[in-house]
């Protein structure tokens, strides 16, 4: 409960940056989000329900990676391609019915070539049938708060009622890259091959080659959805997610994504809070130890700020004169407050580094006798 409360304080302390600038974008719907904090830096019609095309596959990849993490699926699993998977149109890697291919190769085919056939093969391997997989997609979307989204398939080909939004795509993209960083070894591939070099792959995301720091993530396009992308890039330890929906051309979606990414990298920084001076020992009353060391929490120490604010940051430590035993390890004993001018940008709890038990009556009597003896 205490951890929840200080995380809530952290979230409430973060400044709202969405819509803070009017970027010139051609796309009707777009959003820029930072990965660690989940903070939105720019948004335009972010909740408009639109067709996501193959950006749908972000959820397909997320469910696959979560299955791998749980151990129900392995990279080395060999998948036998079904007739249904082999029948997929649109972008594909020409899987043949009965062909055997590993989960790892299928993930590569989805990330690099946006293979619809590979997406279906993964879905069938994870859930047995695509209908059940799509149900899992929608369940996961609800868990993530993707209230603008309804999935009808696992690949993104046009289907009645298959919609999402820039906001929702950013949510699932963040979940994927935040908790499954191993996927980057696929999403950063520019050119590769399948079937032992027999089938060449080229990444549909041209930013991977032409944008400094690009890390992924997924493109999509159909005649009705237009040109879409969830583009991720990292510089100086900060990774951003730029979502573009219904772009007019392939190149224009990349330009819109770059505009947002350039804005984010030039304007903001992910600042890791460290104490400006060593944390003091806190005296303990009636404890087995006379004092206790303090420590920061292991997470929640990063805050997203405009670069212009970094030089103005100040810190203030609030602690009692002493604390009374017993004290539990990890118990909050004080607070470190970070401000930019008068604005509080972060409050971090100062935690007990170890437990300190309360003195027993017997131990207090022993210490009193020892003290009396030493004074004689």
Displacement of CA 333 from its chain's centroid (Å): 30
The 8-class DSSP code of residue 45 comes to: S
114 part of the active site:
yes
Token pair 């899992």 is found at 136
Report whether 155 contacts 57 (CB < 8 A).
yes
Instruction: Using the structure block, give the residue that is written with the tokens 């790892």.
Output: 104
Give me the catalytic one of 35, 44, 57, 258. Answer: 57
For tokens 């890697």, what's the residue?
A: 93
| CB 28, CB 255: distance < 8 Å | no
Tokens for 335, please give them: 């607070």
Rounded to the nearest 5 degrees, what angle is found at the Cα of 289, between the Cα atoms of 285 and 294? 85
Q: Which residue in this structure is represented by tokens 């409360």?
A: 5
Three-state DSSP class for 327? strand
Which two structure tokens, joined as six digits, stand for 69?
């993490």
CA distance 229 to 166: 10
- The answer to whether residue 250 is catalytic is no
For residue 351, give both structure tokens. 């935690």
Residue 350 phi, psi dihedral angles, 5° rounding:
-100, 120
Question: Structure tokens of 227?
Answer: 């040109």
- Catalytic residue from among 29, 91, 114, 173: 114
Active-site residue, 248 included: no
Catalytic residue, candidates 29, 35, 44, 54 = 54
Q: Tell me the catalytic residues.
A: 54, 57, 114
């Amino acid at each position: 409960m205490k951890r929840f409360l200080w995380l809530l304080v952290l979230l409430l302390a973060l400044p709202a940056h969405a819509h803070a600038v009017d970027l010139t974008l051609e796309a009707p719907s777009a959003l820029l989000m930072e990965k660690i904090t989940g903070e939105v830096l720019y948004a335009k019609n972010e909740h408009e329900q639109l067709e996501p095309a193959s950006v749908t596959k972000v959820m397909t990849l997320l469910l696959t990676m979560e299955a791998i993490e749980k151990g129900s699926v392995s990279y080395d699993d060999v998948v036998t391609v079904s007739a249904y998977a082999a029948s997929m149109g649109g972008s594909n890697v020409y899987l043949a019915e009965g062909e055997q291919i590993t989960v790892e190769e299928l993930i590569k085919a989805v990330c690099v070539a946006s293979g619809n056939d590979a997406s279906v093969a993964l879905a069938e391997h994870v859930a047995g049938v695509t209908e059940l997989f799509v149900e899992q997609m929608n369940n996961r979307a609800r868990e993530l708060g993707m209230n603008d989204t309804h999935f009808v398939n696992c690949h993104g080909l046009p289907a009645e009622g298959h919609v999402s939004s820039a906001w929702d795509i950013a949510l699932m993209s963040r979940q994927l890259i935040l908790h499954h960083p191993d996927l980057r070894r696929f999403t950063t591939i520019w050119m590769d091959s399948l079937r032992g070099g027999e089938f060449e792959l080229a990444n549909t995301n041209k930013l991977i080659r032409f944008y400094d720091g690009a890390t992924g993530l997924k493109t999509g396009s159909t005649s009705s959805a237009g040109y879409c992308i969830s583009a991720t890039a990292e510089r100086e330890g900060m990774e951003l997610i730029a979502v573009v929906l219904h772009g007019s051309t392939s190149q224009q979606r990349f330009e819109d994504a770059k505009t947002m990414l350039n804005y984010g990298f030039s304007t903001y920084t992910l600042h890791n809070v460290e104490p400006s001076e060593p944390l003091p020992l806190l005296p303990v009353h009636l404890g087995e130890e006379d004092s206790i060391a303090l420590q920061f929490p292991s997470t929640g120490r990063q805050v997203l700020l405009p670069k212009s604010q970094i030089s103005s940051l100040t810190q203030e430590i609030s602690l009692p004169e002493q604390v009374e035993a017993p004290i539990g390890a990890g118990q909050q004993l004080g607070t470190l407050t970070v401000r930019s001018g008068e604005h509080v940008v972060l409050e971090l709890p100062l935690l007990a580094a170890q437990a300190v038990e309360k003195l027993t009556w017997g131990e207090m009597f022993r210490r009193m006798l020892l003290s009396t003896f030493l004074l004689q």
